[in-house]
Structure 1
Amino acid sequence: MAEHDFNQRLPKSEIVESGYLESMLDNFASSYKLFWFKGIFTEIQKGNTTLEYRRIVARMIAEAWYPVVFYHLSLGFSDKLADAIHYMQEELHIPREEKADRIVEFVCMTTDKKLLQMVKDFTNFVPYRLIRPFYQREIEFERKRDLTFRDSRINRIIEEHNQNDRNNALYVMNRIDGILTISPKWEQYLKTNAVVVEGWLNYKLIKYIQQRNPNVPAIPFKLFPPTSKDRNLSEATKFWKSIQTKMKLFDLYTDKEFTEENFEQFGSFSVDHFIPWSFVLHNEIWNLYPMFKNINSSKNSMLPDKERYLDKFCECQYQAFLKAKELQVSKKVMEQYLNVKRDIFSIGKSDIGHDVFLQAMKQTIEPLYQIANNQGYGIWWYE
């Protein structure tokens, strides 16, 4: 959908000038204004209208947590929000799949000096930058009057005019106490039109992140935590267990057969993605293969070493594909192989078919593998 369609769909209002929403999030080189507004929007929906700066920054971090930590998305070369998130995850050991409200409370309660400085750095300029469009006329007036005007004065101009502005601007700032108060009129507007505004805001965020991650698939689905339904592998497990009835299966990484004795040593039968799920965001059979559960836990969301495992993976997939055709596995499952090669079902048991299948698999996997590695997915092998 074109951007102007979203602008036209922002509801008009008799109590606020809704065009300011677009002006506030019109041009930005970093994610700060987007996530600052998203944090405020989330708090308003929870019924909070007097907000501490620190809590809003905590919301920024919570809203950006999964895109950055779980999905390895870039927020931009110079974006410091990702720095704060990586610091919390790597140095303060916040779990990769932590819940948003717990992240918020951690930031609000922390005594860590480095994190507190990061929070303060955001509050020095972001609160002013978001509401600048409300005071653009005053800023331009001062700029014309004073030929020595510097951008450092903009915050002071905004603060001067914002102090008694309880009807026009989105919020009134209290810099000394580090709080802001949402305008009752804007609170009403954002609550009444919450669904539309949230869709518009998410569109802005998707567009921003897509521009900085141009080759990454499924960006719109990487703004939020995954659900258990998203990662349900019951269909894949059924597929591989049916294959196991017709051929021996071996763990890709230990070379051990799936037997009761080996289950005791390495863990139960498990199915895993060759390219991590958090990158591809699908459970298609061609990217899945059985492995022992304990080994799976060790691999986590990393990329298997390509030199060690890719040829072996593709070979195992070829053998399983032939068996699945013999077993007449459900059309719904087998059609997933069409994303590897359009005419893949013409491939049979021959040297030529074998080579064509392996080549098609590698041509599908290798570009995804390289992009995922570039995005920060580490390389793993079994030791």
Structure 2
Amino acid sequence: MSETSARPAIITISPPGRRPIPFLRTAELGTVFRDTTSSYKYFWLLAIIHVLPEFEAPLPTERLVREMIVRAWAAVALFRLSLGRVDRLQDCVRSLQESSGLPPRSSARRLRSALDAWGAFPKWADELVRFVPGRFLASWFPQAARETPYDRRGSRDLMAVSDRAFGKADSGPYRLIEMRDRLLVELAPGWRDWLTANQALVLGFAEQQLARYLQARNPNVPGVIKKLELPRRRSLALARIRWAQIIDRAGAEGLVDIFSNEALQERFEVDHFLPWSFVVHDEFWNLAPVNPATNRSKSDHLPALDLYLPRLAGLHADVLRQPRLPSGLAEAYAGFFGVSPSQLSGLTQKWIEERYSQLVRPLAQIAANQGFPAHWHNVADTGDAQDFAREGGGEANGLIASRHYEDYG
């Protein structure tokens, strides 16, 4: 009995006018991510999907590795997610980021150009293809996978099994061809057509499984599903309109930049107190109007909490005291504070400040653990920051340390 005789082949019928697709064992795709200890298989499948149009002929594995790095870039470089303790793909991304100096929001086009010019890429490509191209086929050849060690030799054994089955009823999705110093990937007959016809379905499956994998390794991080790729263009236009209305209602006293204490200029910008690349939302409670110079300086840093968190809370306490709060904004505040909209008018400034401390400090600690730069302060506040540290303030002893003040000043 052949290794795969216990599993029936899946028959896919092409639409009229298309070339018939042979028997394909597509059901095995559902098991490729069982018992994964690293991210390689997820990004390997995502890379295959991305380069499908190029698979008219066998492709070098380096081509797929390049796409693996591009797909992993946002999760590692921008959102600072962990791909696993011993995951070498994330080490590769960090090495590229360090050597190239590319900003975290670099486009895929810039990343590919940097990879083409990166002298260390061949070494990384060789390391990343030692196991994954062969071990990815284990779902199609489980017996061979059980009988071979999880090393380069075992991967080569799986390569041999897949090569013998290539194009037959028990074929896997591809075979690997060794040619001089290169390893090529050739899709089996019918697989390119099937993957193309079902691309959205397979892509959604791969991204869902990757999100589950990443959430397990970043258990307290918000919005992991939104951190699989570079963000698309976003707009804070509504938030800016709301802040402009709030500033206008403040009258002669006006509002100040909570970080510089300077009066807000007409061309103010909207800043995320906790970096957007950590929270991946534009909830109003995390926003503050700031001068453009402040926004550029703060970037994706975590502010010094003992200095600025009371100011953020005080700013939003002032907003809540204004009349005619829009119902959508009231509901957003109520959801953040854990109260009903009708209770907002009765919240004291001290309660609001303490609630901000309870809710924001743990999030800031998680972000700091991920590697987001912490303890940022405006240059003008340097002396205040040092005073807090000398007095045993939270910033000297850890981000999550909390002090409750009788008077926040």
Bin of the TM-score, shorter chain as denominator length:
0.7 to 0.9
Note if 1:357 corresponds to 2:360.
no
1:81 Cα deviation from its structure 2 partner: 0.7
1:378 Cα deviation from its structure 2 partner: 0.9
TM-score in terms of structure 2 length: 0.80
Match of 1:97 among 89, 92, 105: 105
1:63 Cα deviation from its structure 2 partner: 0.8
Identify if the C-alpha distance between structure 1 residues 48 and 86 changes in structure 2 by more than 3 Å, giving closer, same or farther: farther
1:166 Cα deviation from its structure 2 partner: 2.8
SS in 2 for 1:304: coil
Q: Work out whether residues 271 and 290 of structure 1, in 8 Å CA contact, stay in contact via their aligned partners in 2.
A: yes
CA distance in 2, matches of 1:331, 1:23: 47
Aligned to 1:339: 335
Gaps of 5+ in 1: 1-10, 144-148, 261-267
Instruction: Tell me which amino acid in the other structure corresponds to 1:29.
Output: T
Match of 2:117 among 110, 113, 117: 110
Aligned to 1:234: 237
Aligned to 1:157: 157
Match of 1:178 among 183, 187, 207: 183
Q: Work out whether residues 273 and 288 of structure 1, in 8 Å CA contact, stay in contact via their aligned partners in 2.
A: yes
1:84 Cα deviation from its structure 2 partner: 0.9
CA distance in 2, matches of 1:357, 1:344: 14
Identify if the C-alpha distance between structure 1 residues 18 and 150 changes in structure 2 by more than 3 Å, giving closer, same or farther: closer
SS in 1 for 2:59: strand
Q: Work out whether residues 347 and 353 of structure 1, in 8 Å CA contact, stay in contact via their aligned partners in 2.
A: no
Instruction: Tell me which amino acid in the other structure corresponds to 2:298.
Output: K
1:116 Cα deviation from its structure 2 partner: 2.6
Aligned to 2:368: 373
CA distance in 2, matches of 1:198, 1:30: 19
Aligned to 1:57: 65
Identify if the C-alpha distance between structure 1 residues 46 and 292 changes in structure 2 by more than 3 Å, giving closer, same or farther: farther
TM-score in terms of structure 1 length: 0.85
Aligned to 1:250: 256
Matched residues, percent identical? 28
CA distance in 2, matches of 1:347, 1:42: 49
Match of 1:382 among 372, 375, 378: 378
CA distance in 2, matches of 1:56, 1:338: 47
Identify if the C-alpha distance between structure 1 residues 95 and 270 changes in structure 2 by more than 3 Å, giving closer, same or farther: same
Gaps of 5+ in 2: 1-9, 13-21, 380-409
SS in 2 for 1:95: coil
CA distance in 1, matches of 2:37, 2:95: 22
Q: Work out whether residues 331 and 341 of structure 2, in 8 Å CA contact, stay in contact via their aligned partners in 1.
A: no
Match of 1:32 among 40, 47, 56: 40
Q: Is the deviation greater in 66-75 or in 162-171?
A: 162-171
1:150 Cα deviation from its structure 2 partner: 8.4
1:134 Cα deviation from its structure 2 partner: 2.9
Which structure has the higher relative contact order (CA within 8 Å, separation 6+)?
A: 1
1:213 Cα deviation from its structure 2 partner: 0.8
More helix by share: 1
Q: Work out whether residues 11 and 23 of structure 2, in 8 Å CA contact, stay in contact via their aligned partners in 1.
A: no
Identify if the C-alpha distance between structure 1 residues 139 and 82 changes in structure 2 by more than 3 Å, giving closer, same or farther: closer
1:36-80 deviation per Cα after TM superposition (whole angstroms, max 9, x unaligned): 111112111566552211111111111111111111111111111
Q: Is the deviation greater in 129-138 or in 249-258?
A: 129-138
1:111 Cα deviation from its structure 2 partner: 4.4
Identify if the C-alpha distance between structure 1 residues 139 and 201 changes in structure 2 by more than 3 Å, giving closer, same or farther: closer
1:151 Cα deviation from its structure 2 partner: 5.4
Match of 1:19 among 27, 46, 70: 27
Q: Work out whether residues 110 and 116 of structure 1, in 8 Å CA contact, stay in contact via their aligned partners in 2.
A: no
1:130-179 deviation per Cα after TM superposition (whole angstroms, max 9, x unaligned): 11333333455x67xxxxx8855423322333334431121121233222
SS in 2 for 1:62: helix
CA distance in 1, matches of 2:11, 2:332: 45
In angstroms, what is the RMSD of aligned CA positions? Answer: 2.3
1:10-39 deviation per Cα after TM superposition (whole angstroms, max 9, x unaligned): x86362111221232222100011111111
CA distance in 2, matches of 1:284, 1:139: 48
Identify if the C-alpha distance between structure 1 residues 46 and 216 changes in structure 2 by more than 3 Å, giving closer, same or farther: farther
CA distance in 1, matches of 2:247, 2:145: 71
Q: Work out whether residues 269 and 290 of structure 1, in 8 Å CA contact, stay in contact via their aligned partners in 2.
A: yes
Q: Work out whether residues 55 and 104 of structure 1, in 8 Å CA contact, stay in contact via their aligned partners in 2.
A: no
1:240 Cα deviation from its structure 2 partner: 1.3
Q: Work out whether residues 135 and 145 of structure 2, in 8 Å CA contact, stay in contact via their aligned partners in 1.
A: no
CA distance in 2, matches of 1:372, 1:215: 10
